[in-house]
Amino acid sequence: MAGFSIRFLGCKVSHTDAHEVRERLLADGHTEGGTDVAVVNTCCVTHEAVRKSRQAATRAARTHSRVYVTGCAANLAADAFAGLPENVTVVTRRSEETPAFVAGDVGALGCVQADVRLDRVRAFVKIQDGCSFSCNFCVIPLVRGASRSRSVAAVLDEVRRRVDQGHREIVLTGINLGCFRDRQAGYRLPRLVREVGAVPGLERLRLSSIEVNHVDAELVAVLRETPVVSRHLHVPLQSGDDRVLRDMARRYSASTYLKRLEPLEDFNLTTDAIVGFPTETDAAFDRTLAVIGAAGITKVHVFPYSPRPGTVTAERDTVAPAVKKERSARLRAASDAACRARWRRKIGAEDIVLVDRPGRGYGDDYSPWLVDAPVGELVRVRGASVSEEGILAA
Ligand code: SF4
């Protein structure tokens, strides 16, 4: 039996992939903890993410006998991990094949724990992987391949299993969720959300992220009509300037983005934005700020542009680092102010909070609350004041 540890870098899909490896190792009879095996599921979305991934692998090589480097950065640039000690194996496989590969290499001990609970209130269930959109800056299609979906039956099975294990909240994850299709069963994302939302015992349901092109009347209706769906949606903007959006090969204009989100104005909307894309001028950046304000977005995940190998813009990086830094700071400040404003509106109002960590939880719209209640409980609260970290419950 091997003792293992798993860590991931990057997005919710990376998190889900890491947990799939974890579950497979537990199911094969290995135990968490100990220093035999470490798995580092990596990220390559920026140069910095690859650097941190290598750093994590280097550290793990010192503390563990065997290290498996998996995930996006391993697939993009196995040479980014060149020169690491001999106990490091770089696994250049698709996410679907990785758990079996790692488990096979570590060696199975027989199925002693076929059904393993994740130790979180929230479970991430992957419904789709890969992307066929080919945005000019993005390396994801190169490392994860074209879009493909799990079957509805497999997704529903996993959701029911997670709920039976005690998870209160499910987050449907994928690289490009709106591309989810089960042609045989006749499902696209809206119908799947409706069906998952009807699983008995499920308290909360969220989508990890969705491209604005997929936010249509049908999806909006399902989000509104499914009681367990959170009033939260993460819709990447990347830029609020039409020229930059075109240069990025995004498939919408700033006005389309705003129009599509109009019916969700009461939702807590969050986004991703890239700053310092090669054709982003000061005026273009100001338009990004303006669109974020007009859409009523709260949290912005800011990504300073970083050219990625193999992409259309791989050789272009013309905005000075200091400018990227300054624009990132302005965007983060705007995001902080928007979050605070939304939180302040909850003072005196009631919400239902799902407590996911000691002293903390999230309300119905995924706003953070500070509450004193047992982890895993859904509690009715009233907003008393706001702090740096969220809304204080009375
Ligand atoms: S939609 Fe664009 S940014 Fe998102 S994963 Fe696909 S190619 Fe990358």
**pLDDT average, residue stretch 165-193:** 96
Q: 389 alpha carbon to ligand 1 midpoint, in Å?
A: 30
pLDDT of residue 362: 97
Name the packing angle between helices 12-27 and 98-106 (round to 10°): 40
**pLDDT average, residue stretch 225-234:** 97
In this prediction, residue 113 has a pLDDT band, given cuts at 50, 70 and 90, of: very low
pLDDT of residue 112: 44
Which residue did the predictor score with more confidence, 181 or 111? 181
**Which letter, b or e, does each residue of 277-311 get, where b requires 16 or more Cβ atoms within 10 Å of its Cβ?**
bbbbeeebbebbbebbeebbbbbbbbbbbbbbeeb
Both structure tokens of 375:
């982890």
Q: 243 alpha carbon to ligand 1 midpoint, in Å?
A: 18
**pLDDT average, residue stretch 91-117:** 74
C-alpha 189 chain-centroid distance: 17
pLDDT of residue 78: 67
Q: What is the rounded CA–CA span in Å between residue 214 and residue 203?
A: 25
Q: Is the pLDDT of residue 108 over 70?
A: no
Q: Is the pLDDT of residue 114 over 90?
A: no
Residue nearest to atom 1 of ligand 1 (CA): 133
pLDDT of residue 119: 57
301-313 pLDDT, tens digit per residue, is 999 999 999 999 9
262-275 pLDDT, tens digit per residue, is 999 999 999 999 99
pTM, to two decimals:
0.89
pLDDT of residue 233: 98
| Minimum-distance ligand 1 atom for the alpha carbon of 144 | 5
Q: Is the pLDDT of residue 157 over 80?
A: yes
Question: Which residue's structure tokens are 């529903």?
Answer: 156
Q: Is the CB of residue 18 less than 8 Å from the CB of residue 128? A: no
| Minimum-distance ligand 1 atom for the alpha carbon of 141 | 7
Instruction: Report the candidate in 120, 103, 308, 133 with the shortest Cα–Cα distance to residue 209.
Output: 133
Mean of per-residue pLDDT scores for the chain = 93
- Residue from 44, 76, 129, 131 to probe ligand 1 pocket by mutation (most atoms less than 8 Å from CB): 131
Q: 238 alpha carbon to ligand 1 midpoint, in Å?
A: 10
| Minimum-distance ligand 1 atom for the alpha carbon of 175 | 5
What are the helix (H) ranges across the chain? 12-27, 47-63, 72-76, 98-106, 140-144, 152-164, 189-197, 217-225, 242-248, 254-261, 282-295, 321-344
Q: Is the pLDDT of residue 26 over 70?
A: yes
| Minimum-distance ligand 1 atom for the alpha carbon of 211 | 1
